[in-house]
Structure 1
């Protein structure tokens, strides 16, 4: 029974051949939007780290309660997650 099912499966799969991949109709616009999102993500990450560093200096200078290292660490963690999103999606979708 299993041998017959295997033979049927291989015959059906062999009829499909090897299709060639092609881009979807609006792929260039989607890629442009992706590049814009990448640019915005990098800009917001740099802004967050710069703001956190400035706030850290202000808190240190004024002698207030220091909370800004959490902001800088959060910005760096967000940057790592954002830059590795492509790799994560390739791993999930590609498997």
Structure 2
């Protein structure tokens, strides 16, 4: 009976903790926002570059390698922007 009371008391204290941000989380989240901004900027730049290269290849009659670059940049953008959702699905 005493063991049961101690067990219930400990579970009541540990049972449902409220989430609390770590002390330095503001700076870390700011760094993550900067990194996200950089990844999106890099993706937009890659799509613009690949589009220009595609036009150049089409105009000069060269080989068409740039559609793969456009597709790769778009797939990379989808993965980069959905990384949070993917991690929530895996961890949560």
TM over 0.5: yes
Q: In structure 1, how many angstroms separate the alpha carbons of the residues matched to 2:90 and 2:29?
A: 20
- In the superposition, the TM-score normalised over structure 1's length comes to 0.83
| Correspondence 1:76-91 to 2 at 5 A | 76-91=74-89
Q: Give the structure 1 partner of residue 52 of structure 2.
A: 54
Q: In structure 1, how many angstroms separate the alpha carbons of the residues matched to 2:9 and 2:64?
A: 66
- In the superposition, the TM-score normalised over structure 2's length comes to 0.86
| Correspondence 1:16-95 to 2 at 5 A | 16-94=14-92
DSSP 3-state at the match of 1:48: helix
DSSP 3-state at the match of 1:21: coil
Q: Give the structure 2 partner of residue 3 of structure 1.
A: none
How many residues were matched structurally?
Answer: 86
DSSP 3-state at the match of 1:23: coil
Q: Which runs of 4+ in 1 moved over 4 A?
A: 10-13
Q: In structure 2, how many angstroms separate the alpha carbons of the residues matched to 1:90 and 1:67?
A: 35
Q: CA RMSD in A?
A: 1.8
